[in-house]
Amino acid sequence: MAYAITQTCCNDASCVSVCPVNCIHPAPGEPDFGTTETLYIDPRTCIDCGACTDACPVDAIVPGDLLDPGNRVYAELAERYYAGRPAEESWGAVEFPRALPDGGTGLRIAVVGTGPAAYYTAQELLRRTGAEVTMLDRLPVPGGLVRYGVAPDHPDTKRIGDTFARLSRHPRLRMVLNVEVGTHVTPEELAAHHHAVVYAVGAGASRSLGIPGENLPGSATADRFVAWYNGHPEAHSPGVALDGVQRAVVVGNGNVAVDLARLLVLDPAALARTDIADRALAALEGSSLREVVLLGRRGPREAAYTRPELHALKHLPGVRLVIDDRPGVREEIAADPETKALLEGVPLEAVDWAAPPPQGRRIVLRFFTAPAEVTGPGRVTGLRVTGPGEGTEETVPAGLVLSAIGYRARPVAGLPFDPATGTVPHDRGRVLDPGSARPRAGLYVVGWTKRGPSGGIGANRRCAAETVEALLEDAEAGRLPRPKGSGREFGRLVRHRQPAALGRRGAEAIDRTERENGRRTGRPRVKLTTTGDLLAAAGRPGSA
């Protein structure tokens, strides 16, 4: 039976190139690549060789006959994707990556950030050139989105971090951690010691609701809440108080909103086997929360969560998923076959918001509802909401309100910034001067800083390839500036400005400590959640 690609697919297409019969699509270069929720294996042409399972960095590929009942839908989705499509048995034209005449030996390139976009960029550079690559991060530990953004109950997705960790041991890759560009070294100093600088700093700021009361205790943005439960050292303690909270409202209908809802109602015993921060686990274990409302301004047809994420909500043990039966909801679901199939089996119920949440645990999908005001004398007691038409205003009682309506990038020191798009102006990754619209020599962007907060982990691979291609074009044409300082001089500058800077060995020491702490408690790792503890594990006590 053919293999199937399941929920944790990261879409980085590592599996495509190893398939001997070209049966995994959409592939890079095809029109719908990057638009589907997962890649799909064609059951008509798959020869069950298993090569794709070895290449998949997140263990998303499973033999069809080993799919459990909850995951058989992924085999059905593949059949639907290929229905009416011809079998792609022939390969497209072979593409040869750009190669520099001298192999790129002698180039020094800095990559600011250590998340997926940064690692894919470093991987491209190390594979395609003989350049020396320096990766910098303001935190004492690398990982970016993989460490501090992926939900703790998604361990398979986190496995891509192991791939990145192996790359960190490359002899031409240097890690510079606990060093912030703009604080410890200026952007100008960084550029003066490298032929090129690639910024991969992400888009970590949540969008504001812009309504009264959103700063009350008990109201938080997604970035703050995610950082809290993932053990980010800059997440302010004690985070979000859950004591006495029976109902939470999550404003948003994307995958981040679904993550928040799922984490709040999961059995803490299941979370106790993950790398969730101890502080968050303790709060959830002591919580009386029984219900989470996912609030969407639009209808079910325009919900932004992906099919795999909603499918996971439908199969949470001990949790009921229901749809608030509001005017227009039934009609919109019935009118759209895709939406009807997605929400099949989810009951529509009239929810009495004046009553406390029922016994057990429940997630409610509420559509056609806009937040108007977070209410409460001193801390959150509810969310005033409005619907279409007059006389549809009401207050949903809640002790916690989380905003998950999207992320945006912050301005980056030394780079232009377009506040309308929340991105750095660029041409295929080349940073553009806003006045002349000409490229700034030696400056590049990749990831969400480049394209905005769209696409998952795997989308950064193709994004990085485009940026690196532009960088190598410039190198071949002699457009990269010549560094004024050497790599050794840059190392001395960093040590002088930030004595507590860490390298690869420090990061590996932190990793060993966290994994050992996890082994003692039956968990993959126990995260160190303060800068002081991270530095101490790296052999730098008292340096915080």
CATH class of the domain at 108-204+409-501: alpha beta
Tokens 């993932």 belong to residue: 230
Q: Average the pLDDT over 203-207 and give the result.
A: 84
Eight-state DSSP code of residue 365: E
Q: Which residues pair with 199 in a beta bridge?
A: 112, 445
**How many beta carbons lie within 10 A of that of residue 126, not counting itself?**
19
The answer to whether the CB of 273 falls within 8 A of the CB of 260 is no
The tokens for 209 are: 């609701």
Contacts of 29 (CB under 8 A, 6+ apart): 92, 95
Closest CA to 290 of 265, 317, 314: 265
The answer to whether the CB of 140 falls within 8 A of the CB of 148 is no
Q: What does the DSSP assignment read for 448-513?
A: HHHH-S-S-TTHHHHHHHHHHHHHHHHHHTT-SPPPSS-HHHHHHHHHHH-TT-B-HHHHHHHHHH
* Structure confidence by residue, pLDDT tens digits, 237-254: 556 789 889 999 999 999
The answer to whether the CB of 33 falls within 8 A of the CB of 26 is yes
Contacts of 341 (CB under 8 A, 6+ apart): none
Domain extent listing, the chain: 3-82, 108-204+409-501, 207-406
Amino acid at 463: C
Q: Which fold has domain 3-82?
A: Alpha-Beta Plaits (3.30.70)
- Vertex 334: Cα angle to 330 and 338 (nearest 5): 120
Eight-state DSSP code of residue 417: -
Q: Which residues pair with 467 in a beta bridge?
A: none
Three-state SS at 206:
strand
Amino acid at 129: T
Separation CA 407–CA 425 (nearest Å): 18
The tokens for 337 are: 């076959």
pLDDT score recorded for residue 310: 92
The answer to whether the CB of 339 falls within 8 A of the CB of 382 is no
Separation CA 166–CA 524 (nearest Å): 18
* Structure confidence by residue, pLDDT tens digits, 157-187: 998 998 899 999 999 999 999 999 999 999 9
The tokens for 111 are: 């990559």
* Structure confidence by residue, pLDDT tens digits, 36-49: 889 999 999 999 99
pLDDT score recorded for residue 544: 43
Domain 207-406 has CATH 3.40.710.10: no
What's the Cα-to-Cα distance from 87 to each of 33, 95, 505, rounded to whole Å?
Answer: 17, 22, 48
- pTM exceeds 0.85, yes or no: yes
The tokens for 504 are: 């690869």
Separation CA 79–CA 404 (nearest Å): 33
* Structure confidence by residue, pLDDT tens digits, 189-199: 999 999 999 99
Q: Distance from CA of residue 143 to its chain's centroid? A: 11
Contacts of 90 (CB under 8 A, 6+ apart): 22
Sheet architecture: strand order including 370-375? 370-375, 382-386, 394-397
* Structure confidence by residue, pLDDT tens digits, 476-500: 999 999 999 999 999 999 999 999 9
- Vertex 311: Cα angle to 309 and 317 (nearest 5): 105
Per the prediction, the chain carries an average pLDDT of: 92
Closest CA to 255 of 312, 204, 207, 298: 312
Separation CA 222–CA 234 (nearest Å): 14
pLDDT score recorded for residue 70: 79
Separation CA 148–CA 150 (nearest Å): 6
* Structure confidence by residue, pLDDT tens digits, 411-458: 998 899 999 888 999 999 999 999 899 999 999 999 999 999 888 898
pLDDT score recorded for residue 302: 94
The tokens for 201 are: 């700093």
pLDDT score recorded for residue 46: 93
The answer to whether the CB of 161 falls within 8 A of the CB of 146 is yes
The tokens for 459 are: 């989308």
* Structure confidence by residue, pLDDT tens digits, 78-134: 999 999 888 876 666 666 677 777 777 899 999 999 999 999 999 999 999 999 999
- Mark out the alpha helices in 145-193 (DSSP H runs): 145-148, 155-158, 160-167, 187-192
Q: Which residues pair with 220 in a beta bridge?
A: 402
End-to-end CA distance of the chain, in Å?
A: 55
